[in-house]
Amino acid sequence: MFQSCLLGSSSRGNMTMSSRGSRLVACLLNVSEARRKDVVETVARSALYNAEGVRREGTAVLNIFNDHDYNRSVITIVAGIDSIRRVLSACERACGLIDMPPTPGHPCMGAVDLVPIYPLGGTGRRTCATAARAVAEGLTERVPGTSAFLFGWADAPRHRGLAQRRREMGWFRKTRDTRDIRPDMGPQPRQRFGLTGVGAGPYVTNCNVTIDTRDVAVGRGIAAAIRESAPGGLPGVQVLALPHEGAVEIACNVESVKGSPTGDTDAGDPWPCFSIGGQLYRHAPASLITARVAQLAGGQGVAVTGTALVGFTPQECRGLAELALSRGIAEFWKEQRRVRM
């Protein structure tokens, strides 16, 4: 059961779970294209409709986040666990429409860069891992020349996290060199498709904080101070400092970590949390990340100019998934402003 540990839940959080909703999962599909909006939306719709244009029931696209500067999009696809493999159709379509950019604006390794699957309710680790491996196998079989590596629960038996697998594959290098890469599935990575990461695990939120400077070194210092591995860093936070639209963005992957919703020493408020198979997970709130960045940047005379969440928190994603699927709204990203929550 995936459940909020916060008091005062929203009306969405109090919705009654249907039998379908009790086995919900989300896939935050990352593709290396944002400047051709029509292409990205075509990829999204491929998860919703078959080749004849017939609607695939039980699947919805909640959100499409396009970042023109990074040339990267994140498509939030939700479905019951038995239907989530339809994301494979979106991956196939993306491979046919998107080539690896020669100079990516955001670090990436594949035209279809990431295919993470997260449980939203009633679905355990093994089931999600099996679904992720099926997507990886299906992609490398259906699209000759594609390659994949596995992470998280799908990476059995080692269960290496995404950050570790990215390091092993050279994701953080300034220049790509795929000659030494050994993918888990498929051939040696090819220039057109690159390498796709496919995995499963507790929900990951993307929180990006912009600071008012062009000095990336300032951003790197802040990133080094708040990432999980630093003394006093934030649990579950993996972070890069990247130039973005004339400023610097502190781009955070906020991984859900095991633990109770204890208050942070700076904020004092409980962290948002949920459970998977009886195990409690929590994730650092965007407000805390922003506050830490503001404190560190302010010490150098730099202001924070904004915070952006890519998609939703785990609680929001589950509530919207239930809503979209119960009302049969496939293209929810286009309709959400007109839907009464």
Indicate whether 287 and 300 sit together in one domain.
yes
Asked if residue 8 belongs to a domain, the reply is: no
**Is the CB of residue 158 less than 8 Å from the CB of residue 175?**
no
**Is the CB of residue 27 less than 8 Å from the CB of residue 134?**
no
Q: Which domain holds residue 233?
A: 204-310
Tokens of 76: 């939030």
| CATH number for position 61 | 3.30.990.10
Q: Which of helix, strand or coil describes residue 263?
A: strand
Asked if residue 29 belongs to a domain, the reply is: yes
Q: Which residues pair with 338 in a beta bridge?
A: none
* Cα 159 from Cα 57, distance rounded (Å): 32
* Cα 140 from Cα 78, distance rounded (Å): 22
* Cα 168 from Cα 234, distance rounded (Å): 23
Q: Which residues pair with 201 in a beta bridge?
A: none
* Cα 239 from Cα 36, distance rounded (Å): 27
Indicate whether 33 and 143 sit together in one domain.
yes
Asked if residue 10 belongs to a domain, the reply is: no
Asked if residue 296 belongs to a domain, the reply is: yes
Q: pLDDT of 78-111, one tens digit each?
A: 999 999 999 999 999 999 999 987 767 778 899 9
Tokens of 216: 């990336």
Q: Where are the alpha helices (DSSP H) in the chain?
A: 37-46, 87-97, 125-142, 162-169, 216-226, 286-298, 314-326, 332-335
**Is the CB of residue 308 less than 8 Å from the CB of residue 249?**
no
Q: What was the pLDDT predicted at 177?
A: 66
**Is the CB of residue 192 less than 8 Å from the CB of residue 100?**
yes
Indicate whether 327 and 257 sit together in one domain.
no
Indicate whether 100 and 31 sit together in one domain.
yes
Neighbours of 10 (CB within 10 A): 13
Alpha-carbon distances of 33 from 45, 75, 173, 174, 332, rounded to whole Å: 15, 11, 20, 19, 21
Q: Tell me how many helices (H) and strands (E) the chain has.
A: 8, 13
**Is the CB of residue 232 less than 8 Å from the CB of residue 224?**
no
Asked if residue 255 belongs to a domain, the reply is: yes
Asked if residue 142 belongs to a domain, the reply is: yes
pLDDT in tens, the chain (341 residues): 333 343 223 333 333 333 344 699 999 999 999 999 999 999 999 999 999 999 999 999 999 999 999 999 999 999 999 999 999 999 999 999 999 877 677 788 999 999 999 999 888 899 999 999 999 999 999 999 999 999 999 999 999 999 999 989 888 776 666 677 899 999 999 889 999 999 999 999 999 999 999 999 999 999 999 999 999 999 999 999 999 999 999 999 999 999 877 654 444 578 888 888 888 999 999 999 999 999 999 999 999 999 998 889 999 999 999 999 999 999 999 987 666 54
Indicate whether 122 and 253 sit together in one domain.
no
Indicate whether 280 and 153 sit together in one domain.
no
Q: How many domains does the chain have?
A: 2
Indicate whether 264 and 323 sit together in one domain.
no
| CATH number for position 259 | 3.30.70.670
Indicate whether 83 and 218 sit together in one domain.
no
Asked if residue 16 belongs to a domain, the reply is: no
Indicate whether 197 and 209 sit together in one domain.
no
Q: What was the pLDDT predicted at 6?
A: 34
Percent of the chain as helix, strand, coil, to the nearest 5 = 30, 30, 45
* Cα 324 from Cα 239, distance rounded (Å): 31
Q: Which residues pair with 64 in a beta bridge?
A: 75
* Cα 195 from Cα 169, distance rounded (Å): 9
Q: What was the pLDDT predicted at 14?
A: 32
Q: What was the pLDDT predicted at 268?
A: 58
Q: pLDDT of 276-324, one tens digit each?
A: 888 899 999 999 999 999 999 999 999 999 999 888 999 999 999 999 9
Query: Which amino acid, residue 220?
Result: R
Measured distance between the N- and C-terminal CA atoms of the chain, rounded to whole angstroms: 22
State the pTM of this model. Answer: 0.90
Asked if residue 110 belongs to a domain, the reply is: yes
Indicate whether 222 and 301 sit together in one domain.
yes
Indicate whether 81 and 112 sit together in one domain.
yes
CA nearest 43: which of 66, 21, 24, 20?
66
Q: What was the pLDDT predicted at 338?
A: 67
Q: What was the pLDDT predicted at 22?
A: 63
Neighbours of 220 (CB within 10 A): 16
Indicate whether 139 and 263 sit together in one domain.
no
